[in-house]
Homo-oligomer: A and B are copies of this chain.
Amino acid sequence: MMETATRCQAYNVFSQACPTRMVLDRLADKWSLLIMDRLRDEPVRFNQLRRDVEGISQKVLSQTLKKLERDGLVTRQVFATVPVTVEYALTALGHTLSNTIESLAHWAEHNIDSVLAAQREYDAVNA
On A, residues with C-beta under 8 Å from B are 5, 8-9, 12-16, 19-25, 27-30, 33-34, 37-38, 52-55, 69-73, 93, 96-97, 100, 103-105, 107-109, 111-119, 121-123
Q: Which secondary structure dominates chain A's binding surface?
A: helix
Cα A69 to Cα B25 in complex, Å, equals 22
Q: Judging by beta carbons under 8 Å apart, are A20 and B112 in contact?
A: yes
User: How many chain copies?
Assistant: 2
In the complex with contacts A34-B24, A53-B14, A100-B100, A112-B71 CB distance below 8 A: no
Q: Which residues of B contact A118 (CB under 8 A)?
A: 70-73, 93
Which residues of the other chain, B, contact A22 by a CB distance below 8 angstroms?
Answer: 112
Q: How far is the CB of A18 from chain B (nearest CB, A)?
A: 9
B72 touches A108 (CB 8 A): no
Across the interface, do A104 and B55 meet the contact criterion of CB distance under 8 Å? Answer: no
Let me know if B112 and A5 touch, CB within 8 A: yes
Residues of B with C-beta under 8 A to A21: 34
